[in-house]
Amino acid sequence: MQLSPHHKKASPLRGIVLLALLSLFWGLAWPAMKIVLGEIRPWTFRAICLAAGGAALLALARAGGATLRVPAGDLKPLIITSLINITGWHILSAYGLAMLQAGRAVIIAYTMPLWAILLGRLLLKEHITSARLWALGFGWTGLALLLVPDMRAFGAAPLGALMVLGAAVCWGAGTVLVKFFKWHMPATLVMGWQLLIGGIPIVVGAILIDPVTALAAVSWKAIAALIFVVALPTIFCHWAFFMVVQIFPANVAALSTLGIPVIGVFSSALILGEPATATEVAALFLVVLSLALTSRGGRRTD
C-alpha cells in the first residue's frame, strides 16, 4: 500500500503511535507464544499464524488498490526469500522457544541484525562502518554472556538455543536477500506472499507431523494467546511496520526493534514468572545497544 507524500508529512503523530504499538505487541508476542507452545505444537501453531497472516496482509493490500498478481521476475526471489525468511525463521524460532525461557529466546533472536551486517557485506558489498563494528562487538558479547559461561543453567536446552540462533541467522539472511533482489511489487505484497509461500512447507509439516487431535484439548488461555499472536504481532504489526516506513526514514522505523527484547524479557518475567537474572539483563543491554548502533546505519530490521 502506497501512501501519498501529503500523508507522509501529515502523519508523524500516527507514526509515533504505531512505533510504540510495534514495540509493545512484538515484545508481548514472546510470552504469548510461549503460552501457546505449551499446548499447541510448533508446526500447527506456525501454520495457523502464517496462513492467517498472509491472507490478511494480501487482503489489506487488495483493499488499498494493489493487484495481487506476482510479476514473473519476482517469483524466484519470492520463493527463495520465503523459504529462508519465513519458513526458516518461524519453525526454528517456534521449536527453540518451546525449549527455552521466552526472555532468553528473545535476546538471542534479536541478534538478527548482526547476521544481516555480515551477510550484507558478503552479498551486497556494504561497508561495515565503525558503528556497525561496535554493534557486532556488543552483540557478540551479549550472546556470549548467555551461551558460554552460563551453559549449565542454560544447558537444559542447548538445542533450543541453537534453533533460536539459527532462526536469527535466517531472518538476517532473508533481510539481506530482500534487499539484494529487484522487486516489481509493493513491500506489503512481498510480505503477504512471503507469509503464504513460506507457510506452505509448514502447513504440510503440520498435516504430516502433528496429530489431527492436537487441538482438541487446548485451553482457553492458549486459544486467547493464539488469537493475540495472530491478530496483533502477526497481522497488525506487519501492516503497521510498512505504514511506519512510509512515514519515517528506515532508520527511524528500525527504532521499533529497540524496545522489543526489553518488553519481551520483562513481560516474560511478569506473565510467565521467569527470573530475569543479572546475566540476562547485561546481555539484554548489550543486544539493545547493538540494535541501536545498527539502526544508525539505516538498515531496516523487524
Task: Kindly indicate the confidence band of residue 258, based on its pLDDT and cuts at 50, 70 and 90.
Answer: confident
Give CA–CA dist 10/97, Å, rounded: 40
Q: Which pLDDT score, from 0 to 100, does residue 214 have?
A: 64
Domain count, the chain: 1
Q: Of 11 and 105, which is predicted with more confidence?
A: 105
| Model pTM above 0.85 | yes
Percent of the chain with pLDDT over 90: 59
Q: Cβ distance 102 to 268 under 8 Å?
A: yes
Highest mean pLDDT, choosing among 92-101, 211-220, 274-283: 92-101
Give CA–CA dist 196/93, Å, rounded: 18
- What value does the mean pLDDT of the chain take? 87
Task: Kindly indicate the confidence band of residue 7, based on its pLDDT and cuts at 50, 70 and 90.
Answer: very low
What pLDDT digit, counting tens, does each position of 180-210 carry?
A: 999 999 888 999 999 999 999 999 999 999 8
What pLDDT digit, counting tens, does each position of 158-186 carry?
A: 788 889 999 999 999 998 999 899 999 98
Asked if residue 302 belongs to a domain, the reply is: no
Q: Which three cell numbers stand for residue 150?
A: 552460563
Asked if residue 23 belongs to a domain, the reply is: yes
Q: Which residues of 189-228 are buried (b: 16+ CB within 10 A; e: fewer)?
A: bbbbbbbbbbbbbbbebbeeebeeebbeeeeeebeebbeb
Asked if residue 111 belongs to a domain, the reply is: yes
Strand segments (E) across 119-273: none
Cα 257 → chain centroid: 9
Say yes or no to pLDDT of 118 above 70: yes
> Distances in Å between the alpha carbon of 89 and those of 46, 63, 293?
10, 28, 23
Q: What residue type is 122 in one-letter code?
A: L
Asked if residue 300 belongs to a domain, the reply is: no
Give CA–CA dist 82/76, Å, rounded: 10
Q: Cβ distance 198 to 50 under 8 Å?
A: yes
Q: Which pLDDT score, from 0 to 100, does residue 125 have?
A: 86
Asked if residue 301 belongs to a domain, the reply is: no
Give CA–CA dist 113/132, Å, rounded: 10
Lowest mean pLDDT across 89-98, 99-108, 121-130:
121-130
Asked if residue 180 belongs to a domain, the reply is: yes
Lowest mean pLDDT across 19-28, 213-222, 245-254:
245-254
Cβ contacts of residue 89 below 8 Å, gap of 6+? Answer: 167, 170, 171, 174
Radius of gyration of the chain (CA): 18
Nearest to 199 by CA among 48, 39, 74, 75: 48
Say yes or no to pLDDT of 148 above 90: no
Task: Kindly indicate the confidence band of residue 156, based on its pLDDT and cuts at 50, 70 and 90.
Answer: low
Q: Which three cell numbers stand for residue 151?
A: 551453559
> Distances in Å between the alpha carbon of 183 and those of 72, 76, 203, 217, 263?
10, 11, 26, 44, 33
What pLDDT digit, counting tens, does each position of 40-95 carry?
A: 999 999 999 999 999 999 998 898 888 999 999 999 999 999 999 999 999 999 99
Q: Which domain holds residue 94?
A: 5-295
Give CA–CA dist 106/260, Å, rounded: 8
Asked if residue 264 belongs to a domain, the reply is: yes
Q: Which pLDDT score, from 0 to 100, does residue 245 have?
A: 74
Q: Which pLDDT score, from 0 to 100, does residue 217 have?
A: 84
Q: Cβ distance 27 to 264 under 8 Å?
A: yes
Cell 509493545 belongs to residue? 24
> Distances in Å between the alpha carbon of 279 and those of 1, 24, 101, 227, 244?
42, 23, 14, 33, 33
Cβ contacts of residue 268 below 8 Å, gap of 6+? Answer: 30, 31, 34, 101, 102, 103, 106, 274
